[in-house]
Amino acid sequence: MRHSVAKIVMRVLGTLGGVLGVVGLCITAFVLYHSATERNAGLVVAALIALAFSACFLYVSYLVWFKFSPLAVKHICGGIGFCVLALVSKLIEPARHSHGAWPIYAYLGSLIVVYFAYRVASDRLSRSLFPENTA
């Protein structure tokens, strides 16, 4: 992948994460208001967790646009890894109740594969986007 294409892809993904973070902040503010007025402690905790994720998405967007560094690349690759894990869990969910223990082992195997794929992708992208100055 060329340097400029990789940088554009990282910025697009970071921007999408930032949009998701803004939408999450709006929804979380609405949920926090209603959970506080109804005194629902479980919903407050869920809203605070969603607030943390929204803040993380906004932070990644900030990194991608204003402090583009290997840390931004790691965050983008980690976000892609979490999306892949969510997809795998959605695919395995129907088989979990009727097919024994193999879905659990498949999910644990996918955790290992996604972790190593994250490490390889983030290291290679960081090396290609930010080559060391050997001069």
State the angle between helix axes of 70-96 and 102-129 in degrees (0 to 180), rounded to the nearest 10: 160
Domain that holds residue 126: 69-135
User: Does 20 share its domain with 38?
Assistant: yes
Instruction: Choose the final residue of a domain: 66, 101, 118.
Output: 66
Mean local confidence (pLDDT), 91-111: 77
The pLDDT tens digits for 18-29 are 888 899 889 888
Cα angle 28, 114, 112; round to 5: 115
d(CA 93, CA 113): 19
Q: Of the residues 66, 91, 111, which one is the last residue of a structural domain?
A: 66
Q: Tell me how far apart the alpha carbons of residues 21 and 54 are, in angstroms, rounded to a whole number.
A: 4
Average pLDDT over the chain reads 83
Please give the radius of gyration of the chain, using alpha carbons only, rounded to the nearest integer. Answer: 19
The pTM (predicted TM-score) of the whole model is: 0.74
Q: 93 and 50 in one domain?
A: no
Statement to judge: residues 32 and 78 lie in one domain? no
Say yes or no: 62 and 103 in one domain: no
**128 to each of 3, 75, 123, 125, how far by Cα in Å?**
7, 16, 9, 5
- Total domains in the fold of the chain: 2
Question: What pLDDT is stored for residue 90 in this prediction?
Answer: 84
The domain boundary, picked from 42, 66, 90, lies at 66
